[in-house]
Chain A
Amino acid sequence: MTVDAPETTPGASAETEPRRKRLALVASKGTLDQAYPPLILASTAASLGWEAGIYFTFYGLDILHQERFRKLKVASLANPSGPVQLPNLLGAVPGATAAATKIMKKWMKDARMPEVPEFIEMTQSLGVRFFACSTTMGVMGVEEADLIGGCDIAGAAAFLDYAADADVQLFV
């Protein structure tokens, strides 16, 4: 029995489209300020004509969580660069996180930057792939129904398989 080698690369069209560059990101943090960089990079990559995918893992999975992605916060504690410059002792005071979050949201609004849910929609509309870490879902009790639509639930091997063919890989 013989096995024929595939004549074309899987996914390539009949017109043999040139291979596109690929960006593979890991989004591991679930604060408001750290939700933006992976979305900015992935939406930019897609705008450049690249393929792009983001693997949302651990707290980063909150960025895909239908309830939580509207409530992401900026830490006032242990964040010396945050919008509220407070010593850690005061950063722990009730209301400090809310204040830092409010300031960051105002900065973003004044700069005409979309809020996270809108940014996610923009990014998805460009065809960026969202991988939801299955281990995080198991550990943190997140169900598929809790996440926004259009995510691929995947483990590390599936993401590495995607990232192995990427030209740029970054961990955020």
Chain B
Amino acid sequence: MTQLDTTDIKVTETLDCSGLLCPLPVYQAGIALGRLAPDEVLKLVTTDPGALEDIPAMARQRGDTLLATKQGEGVQTFWLKTGGGR
């Protein structure tokens, strides 16, 4: 996983999907990312263990960039930058 100093990332929007299972984090993140302009950053918090695979896959499929992932105790945080091609 990317070990970036996440405090340096300028976050445009934060979305907390704690307690939600697939497909809800991807569903809500998709709506949030759709609201953002290209190159803006969504900070996404999840607790679904599947999100560790799902969120990178979502970024790949949508053409967004996963800047960083942080894994805590039962919680994952993702920093997603919207792709410019949309």
Contacts and interface: CB of A to CB of B under 8 A. Distances in A.
Interface of A: 18, 21, 40, 43-44, 46-50, 111-113, 122, 126
B20 A112 contact: yes
Interface of B is mostly: helix
A47 B21 contact: no
Contacts of A47: 23, 26-27, 29-31, 58
A112 B22 contact: no
A48 B27 contact: no
Interface of B: 19-24, 26-27, 29-31, 57-58, 61-63, 85-86
A136 B85 CA distance: 42
Contacts of A18: 85
A49 B63 contact: yes
Nearest first, the 9 closest Cβ-Cβ pairs linking A and B are: A47-B30, A48-B61, A44-B23, A49-B62, A47-B26, A40-B23, A47-B27, A111-B21, A43-B23
Which has the most chain B C-beta neighbours within 10 Å: A40, A44, A50?
A44
A135 B48 CA distance: 40
Contacts of B23: 40, 43-44, 47
Contacts of B58: 47-48
A50 B26 CA distance: 13
A10 B30 CA distance: 26
A75 B58 CA distance: 34
Nearest to B21: A111
Contacts of B21: 111-113
9 contacts: A40-B22, A43-B27, A47-B26, A47-B30, A49-B62, A49-B63, A50-B61, A112-B21, A113-B24
